[in-house]
């Protein structure tokens, strides 16, 4: 599931080639039209001839802001990829996979394709983000803005929640952008066990979490951007320390990495160096 780092790297990569450009065509795969929370026919009719004014990210959503010529009628295409959504950027040279949900053709022969392996993604085409995208306004601050928030504000925010740490980090009302994979990585970095309750944290644990969140996220963005062979559609996460590495050796202490949950959505951590 793409989380903040994947979507942020994607935004950095595909923002410049699409921002300011006209959408020349929008096609929807007839077999996947049900993923659009909006009539498919309107989608294909209304997107072309619009200009993409910006590509931004909010939590786990990628947001294409568009306007019709002359600066009028802003409308947003919002994609929440959920478990199996991926983006693919290409031209006519890359064949369209069967998992394609929609393709935007943008002037300059760029194609932005949204693929979905699990058909769980949510796609909105709206004129009012707050009213039309569920829970939009409930999203907390961006997780990568924790450092600029400062430790005191972070502590106050943290103490409003009672969840186990794993659930807390994935709670978009606490911070927006973190899911199953990066919550494992952040807790490993902070040396905290995922099933600990927030109330059990000592001040130094809170500080470790405060430091680990932006560190893990920024390192991941760098790792993704530094990989020239990175394919958006495959989501290579080899750089991770524990997530999806159950049974392997912890890179910090050499202990065997534990796994709870399913293979599809594992919870990984190290009993040797997380407390
Ligand atoms: Zn360890």
- Rounded Cα distance between 240 and 242, Å, is 6
pLDDT at residue 125, as a whole number: 93
Cα Rg, the chain, nearest whole Å:
20
pLDDT at residue number 71: 65
Question: Which of the listed CATH numbers 1.20.1440.230, 1.10.8.50, 1.10.3720.10, 1.10.10.10 matches domain 143-270?
Answer: 1.10.8.50
Distance 3 CA to ligand 1 centre (A): 24
CA 202 / ligand 1 centre spacing (Å): 20
Q: How many CB atoms lie within 10 A of CB 217?
A: 25
Cα dihedral sign, 211-213-216-217? negative
Q: Which residue stretches of the chain have pLDDT < 70?
A: 70-71, 232-233
CA 84 to ligand 1 centroid distance, Å: 29
The structural domains of the chain, with segments of one domain joined by +, span: 4-138, 143-270
Instruction: Tell me the CA–centroid distance for residue 168 and ligand 1, in Å.
Output: 22
What predicted TM-score, i.e. pTM, was given to this entire model? 0.91
Predicted pLDDT at 26? 94
d(CA 50, CA 173) in angstroms, rounded, equals: 32
The pLDDT of residue 57 is: 96
| SS3 assignment, position 112 | strand
- The pLDDT of residue 42 is 84
- At what angle are helices 4-18 and 203-226 packed, to 10 degrees? 40
Three-state SS at 45:
helix
- Reference 86, options 116, 61, 59; nearest CA is 116
- How would you label 24-35 residue by residue, b for 16+ Cβ within 10 Å and e otherwise? eebbbbeebbeb
Non-local (6+) Cβ contacts of 182 within 8 A are 3, 4, 5, 169, 216, 217, 220, 243
For residue 269, report the distance from its CA to the centre of ligand 1, in Å.
Answer: 8
CATH class of segment(s) 4-138: alpha beta
Distance of CA 145 from the midpoint of ligand 1 (Å): 27
Question: Using one digit for the tens of pLDDT, what is the confidence trace for 131-156?
Answer: 999 999 999 999 999 999 999 999 99
Q: 112 C-alpha to center of ligand 1: Å?
A: 40
């Amino acid at each position: 599931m793409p989380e903040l780092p994947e979507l942020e790297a994607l935004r950095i990569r595909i923002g410049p080639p699409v921002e300011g450009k006209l959408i020349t065509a929008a096609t929807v795969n007839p077999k996947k039209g049900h993923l659009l929370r909006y009539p498919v026919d309107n989608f294909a009719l209304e997107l072309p001839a619009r200009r993409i004014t910006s590509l931004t990210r909010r939590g786990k959503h990628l947001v294409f802001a568009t306007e019709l010529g002359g600066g009028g009628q802003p409308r947003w295409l919002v994609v929440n990829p959920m478990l199996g959504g991926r983006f693919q950027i290409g031209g006519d040279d890359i064949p369209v996979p069967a998992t394609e949900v929609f393709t935007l053709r943008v002037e300059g022969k760029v194609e932005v394709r949204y693929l979905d392996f699990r058909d769980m993604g949510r796609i909105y085409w709206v004129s009012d983000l707050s009213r039309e995208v569920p829970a939009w306004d409930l999203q907390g601050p961006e997780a990568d803005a924790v450092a600029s928030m400062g430790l005191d504000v972070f502590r106050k925010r943290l103490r409003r929640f009672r969840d186990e740490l794993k659930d807390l980090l994935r709670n978009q009302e606490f911070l927006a952008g973190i899911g199953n994979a990066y919550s494992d990585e952040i807790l490993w970095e902070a040396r905290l066990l995922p099933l600990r309750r927030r109330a059990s944290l000592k001040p130094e644990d809170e500080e470790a979490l405060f430091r680990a969140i932006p560190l893990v996220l920024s390192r991941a963005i760098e790792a993704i951007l530094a990989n020239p062979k990175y394919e958006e559609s495959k989501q290579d996460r080899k750089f991770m320390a524990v997530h999806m590495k159950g049974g392997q050796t912890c890179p910090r202490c050499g202990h065997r990495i534990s796994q709870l949950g399913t293979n599809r959505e594992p919870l990984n951590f190290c009993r040797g160096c997380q407390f």
